[in-house]
Amino acid sequence: MADLHRFANPTRFLKLAGIIQPWALAVFLLSITVGLYMAFFTAPADYQQGESARIMYVHVPAAWMAMFCYTVMAVASAVSLIWKHPLADVSARATAPIGAAFTFLSLATGSLWGKPMWGTWWVWDARLTSVLVLLFLYIGYMALQGAFDDRVRAAKASAILALVGFVNVPIIKFSVDWWNTLHQPASVIKMGGSSIHPSMLWPLLIMAIAFKAYYVWVLMVRMRQELVANKVRILRLKQVHGG
């Protein structure tokens, strides 16, 4: 009967999440303040793009997070399909909206950063285009998660989609890069700006740590919500089927 309990009442994880959550919040708050301070005060302005390059300190970590979250979803989906561990489904489902938010942010900040440089809000730059496709993969995943009444069916179908999507990400990246070189004369100012000077590198890394801490914090909140919602559903089923 032990594994039965694991489905219905994963108290062990709920306690653990309760502990991790405040720590993640603390790390997030600390690193975001340090990161922002460095991004605006210690890091020099870019000699070509001037102050607008400071958008890089939110754009680049967001793009990293977009890819990181999708990888987490793919790994969690593989674990859930192979070892059928219920927490893997819950973590993949909880990660998706956060990853999608970061993907949207990296697109929006990329467009805001590109406007002064290229004069238009959107340029079919290889990186931006791949991130746009990644956003569609996220939306497809979340739409599939929401398309089933039975939570277990939704989890299994989305797990397969996440894996299929993950296998295709490098192929899409390769195709978009190739397509980009075919049609786009090498854009004068590379998105990444001039070579990364250490004083610019540190804020980037600290902002990246801040975003990861934010991810862990919100992930814990969302996973706890999913697990308690599972318990509520079981109570509802008990009501219906006569306890």
Chain residues 179-218 in contact with other proteins, contact rule CB under 8 A:
179, 182, 214, 217-218
Taking the least distance from each CB to other proteins, the nearer of 126 and 202 is 126
The sign of the CA dihedral 112, 115, 117, 123 is positive
Q: The tokens of 14 are what?
A: 């709920």
Closest contact distance (angstroms) between CB of 215 and other proteins is: 10
241 binds other proteins (CB under 8 A): yes
70 binds other proteins (CB under 8 A): no
| Cβ atoms 199, 46 nearer than 8 A | no
Find all residues with CB under 8 Å of 67, minimum gap 6, and list them: 134
Only segment of 69-77, 173-181, 184-192, 193-201 that touches other proteins (CB under 8 A): 173-181
Q: The tokens of 135 are what?
A: 């956003």
Chain residues 109-138 in contact with other proteins, contact rule CB under 8 A:
109, 112-113, 115-116, 133, 136-137
| Cβ atoms 157, 144 nearer than 8 A | yes
Q: The tokens of 194 are what?
A: 């001039």
Q: What is the DSSP letter of 189?
A: S
Closest contact distance (angstroms) between CB of 181 and other proteins is: 11
Q: What does the per-residue mask of binding to other proteins show for 217-236, with x meaning CB under 8 A?
A: xx--xx-xx--xxxxxxxxx
85 binds other proteins (CB under 8 A): no
Residue with tokens 């603390």: 26
